[in-house]
Structure 1
Amino acid sequence: MGTRKLRYDEAFVSWIAGAHNVPYKVSVCTGSLLLGAAGLLEGKKATTHPSAYELLRPYCEEVVETRIVHDGNVITGGGVSTSIDLGLYLTSHLVGEAAMNSVKKQIDYPYEMQGIVQI
């Protein structure tokens, strides 16, 4: 519930907005509300925890009801359990599928990622 309150904290949101020029903005769960409050989701498609889809709608072009949305330099993930898939997705995106498969093996992750939307 903390992110729901933090999105109204002007100092914190201003600090997040300072990431405007970083190569990637990544969030999981309701962290996307903070990206949105900071203006970093304008014109972007994004996702969040399913219970917060309606809260995210004012901040982005479109809420995509899925686990991971990669729109340009913004990558958002759904609920907390998505954080593992998101980490694996980022590993694959940044350093390749072989590295991702190595991490999957190291963490004993037997699942196949699903629900990834690339814009």
Structure 2
Amino acid sequence: MKVAFIIFEDLTALDFIGVYDAVTRLKTMNFIPELEWEICSFTEWVVDGTGLIFTPTKVNESLETYDMVIVPGGFGTRRLVDDSAFIEWLKTSKPCKIKASVCTGSLLYGSAGFLQGKSATTHPSAFENLKKYCTVVNDRIVDEGDVITARGVSSSIDLGLYLCEKLAGHDAKEKIRIQMDYQIN
């Protein structure tokens, strides 16, 4: 299984790190030993909204060969929804089995046309922005089969654990959750 974690200028670091930490444990904890991932960006230089620098492992390469593509949110999404070159690059993920997003990453999937006729969620402050692409649902995670969206920033860990369960089962998800010391109410 191959995973592409997308990064871009002005992303929110926790949107990326929360889901990244959980999903990569599928390999490091030996639940899916063949799991591979890349940190993919459309540009060579990526800085989050607070100045944290991220280094992509793949730059502007097609996303079509991945099984899963995960897009974080952040204020950069507001600009990127209208960036035709970035959206065309993101559209190369169309054949991927799972396209997941955290927070306003769903706006990018909406702009790419992946949310047409579907329901999705995002940070509550962006519900109005998301309405032009799909039906907005006020849930923590919305699973539409090939597109899975998670609500606000802290839902990145929830999404990561959700994906772990989807890919490796409940027991694997629970072992990862316990190792992360993540409490579920």
* TM-score, normalised by the number of residues in structure 2: 0.59
Aligned to 1:38: 112
Structure 1 residue ranges, 4+ long, deviating more than 2 angstroms after superposition: none
What do you get for the CA RMSD once the two structures are aligned? Answer: 0.7
Correspondence 1:80 to 2:153: yes
Aligned to 1:96: 169
Gaps of 5+ in 1: 113-119
SS at match of 1:92: helix
Match of 1:14 among 81, 84, 88: 88
State the Cα distance separating 1:18 from its structure 2 match. 1.0
Looking at secondary structure, tell me which structure has more helix per residue. Answer: 1
Count of residues in Structure 1 that have an aligned counterpart in Structure 2: 111
Aligned to 2:144: 71
What letter is aligned with 1:68?
I
SS at match of 2:94: helix
What letter is aligned with 1:98?
D
Aligned to 1:26: 100
Looking at secondary structure, tell me which structure has more strand per residue. Answer: 2
State the Cα distance separating 1:66 from its structure 2 match. 1.3
Aligned to 2:18: none
What letter is aligned with 2:136?
V
**Separation (CA, whole Å) in 1 of partners of 2:117 and 2:85:** 23
State the Cα distance separating 1:79 from its structure 2 match. 0.4
- Structure number with larger C-alpha Rg: 2
> 1:47-103: CA deviations, max 9, x gaps?
00010000001111x110111000121100000100000100110111100000010
* TM-score, normalised by the number of residues in structure 1: 0.91
